Chains A and B, each alone.
Chain A
Amino acid sequence: MIENRVVLITGSASGMGRDTAFAMAAAGAKVVINDINEEKVVQTVEELKAQGYEALGVVANICDRASVEDMVGTVTSEFSGIDILVNNAGMERAGPIRNLSEEDWDITINVNLKGAFLCTKAVHSQMVKKGFGRIINIASRAWLGGSGQAPYSSAKAGMVGLTRSIALELGKYGVTSNCIAPGLIHTPMWDELEEKTRKYLLSKQPTGKLGETRDIANAVCFLATEESSFITGQVLYVCGGRSLCAS
């Protein structure tokens, strides 16, 4: 169970991170909302508290080591320490490689991969000390590769390597590390896509449907409990079977 566990979810003022925060709070966890978007952090925390949940907001850029260390310090002093880390913050710069700039590459790698590394580095020692910890990385099915997705796919593939290395390193201390690889999920970004693109993407879905943010939240909740203590270093695809077929 995750009752009374402290969970830090990066990039959780929006999308699936936000939904995961509500799901975990409903299951009794104390949730920490982190994001770079201050307004949304405040709003999310207010909504959580209005529902009677215990929540804390921390505005921090996960690509910056000092900010991450400060964030972890704040959470540790406010709550008893961090039991579960969900590396969820992410973004994508897409396009054919000829159009991609060095900056596109750097920012995509920094937010998705370096951010996950910095957060993991900052929280893992307290998990090791406690003999319990869960590190759950939100990668993407796109780590398998995607045309026009060189930086994003590389960053997400990097997260898979990070997940597995941490799993091998910390397994003996009761800390597990797993990846969730979402496929198409219904988020605001989806609604902004052109009708034609949406139709095309849906035609590639074995289920013929999109996933919802709560499908990701459900998977995070499963991997966050003691129930999953013999599962580590794994990639769980939550993608309606999309990882099984050709694009």
Chain B
Amino acid sequence: MSGFDQKIVLIVGEPDEVAIATGRKLAGAGTVITLCGDNGHSQLEAASASIRLYGNDTGWMHSELSGAEDARNVVGQMTEKYGRLDIVVVNLAAEARMQSRNSVGLDQTPYGSVSYAMHLIEAALPVLRANGQGRIVVIGSIDYLGAPEHAGLSSAYASLFGLTRSLALQIACDGVTVNTVVKGDIEDPAMVEEEKAKVLQSIPVKRLGQAEDVANAIGYFAADAARYVTGQTLFVCGGRSMHYSMSI
């Protein structure tokens, strides 16, 4: 991947496998990564350390991931430290999943994550625009197409979908692209065999995804190579999205 040299990347949200794989992919291509999450310092440091092995110095910052002021502060810290910001990866879908793990009702809808995503993008936009070639990549989940007992979660994801499209139209002229990478079923050590077999039935490629699969697609959207692609939703799901309407 070319054109990434010394680009400044902010990955916001849960420092999970996808965030780490994305960090590794982009760090390996020469970017400088900062992870930002509401996790404990040791977790953020451990995630950063595992990215550092692949490239430039990787930093992290703690944030409450809540409210407009916090978002402005996160972006402010980035520009203070690096003088610029080129690529923002929003992994708040994972955050939303964490929040709603034990809930079935709409009252637990993780809108907090969505509204933080909006605040963050709002705060980052002027900085990205200033470069004339910024990239925002939002990580979504296939659950937005509908999933029983996940009404809250899927409606939160669906709002990220609307967010990407509207925002893309608004800022297309500035050379800033916004795209969503929708992740499908990613290998999870906690998944029992029986559950895995059931999930595999609905995946045409007959395997579960790896965090790297998602990271590769993020790498494409984040690259100069994708400058004419904006507002799009790419499913990285082994083809499972084909079973659903509203997925193209």
Which A residues have a C-beta under 8 Å from some C-beta of B? 160, 164, 167-168, 171-172, 174, 176, 183, 206-209, 211-212, 215, 218-219, 221-222, 227-241, 243-245
- Shortest Cβ distance from A176 into B: residue: B205
10 closest A-B pairs by beta carbon, nearest first, are: A171-B204, A206-B172, A230-B213, A218-B225, A215-B228, A227-B216, A211-B228, A232-B239, A171-B205, A233-B239
Shortest beta-carbon distance from B62 to chain A in Å: 32
**Known contacts A206-B173, A235-B248; is A164 also within 8 Å of B242 by CB?**
yes
Max chain A CB contacts within 10 Å: which of B217, B219, B248? B248
- Does B237 lie at the interface of the complex (its beta carbon under 8 Å from any beta carbon of A)? yes
List of A residues within 8 angstroms of B108 by Cβ: none
Please determine whether A222 and B235 come into contact, CB atoms closer than 8 angstroms.
no
**Known contacts A218-B225, A237-B232, A238-B229; is A232 also within 8 Å of B205 by CB?**
yes
Choose among B172, B184, B203, B234 the residue that contacts A241 (Cβ–Cβ < 8 A). B172
Please determine whether B173 and A222 come into contact, CB atoms closer than 8 angstroms.
no
Please determine whether B206 and A236 come into contact, CB atoms closer than 8 angstroms.
no
Please determine whether B173 and A208 come into contact, CB atoms closer than 8 angstroms.
yes
Max chain B CB contacts within 10 Å: which of A206, A211, A231, A237? A231
A-B contact pairs, 13 of them (CB 8 A): A168-B239, A168-B242, A174-B205, A207-B228, A215-B226, A218-B226, A228-B217, A230-B184, A230-B207, A230-B210, A231-B237, A240-B228, A243-B231
Shortest beta-carbon distance from A184 to chain B in Å: 9
Which B residues have a C-beta under 8 Å from some C-beta of A? 165, 168-169, 172-173, 184, 203-207, 209-210, 213-214, 216-217, 219-220, 223, 225-232, 234-239, 241-242, 248
Shortest beta-carbon distance from B144 to chain A in Å: 16
Max chain A CB contacts within 10 Å: which of B204, B207, B216? B204
Choose among A160, A167, A218, A244 the residue that contacts B231 (Cβ–Cβ < 8 A). A244
List of B residues within 8 angstroms of A209 by Cβ: 228
Choose among B172, B226, B242 the residue that contacts A233 (Cβ–Cβ < 8 A). B242
Please determine whether B226 and A208 come into contact, CB atoms closer than 8 angstroms.
no
Please determine whether A168 and B204 come into contact, CB atoms closer than 8 angstroms.
yes
The complex places the Cα of A204 from the Cα of B242 at a distance, in Å, of 29
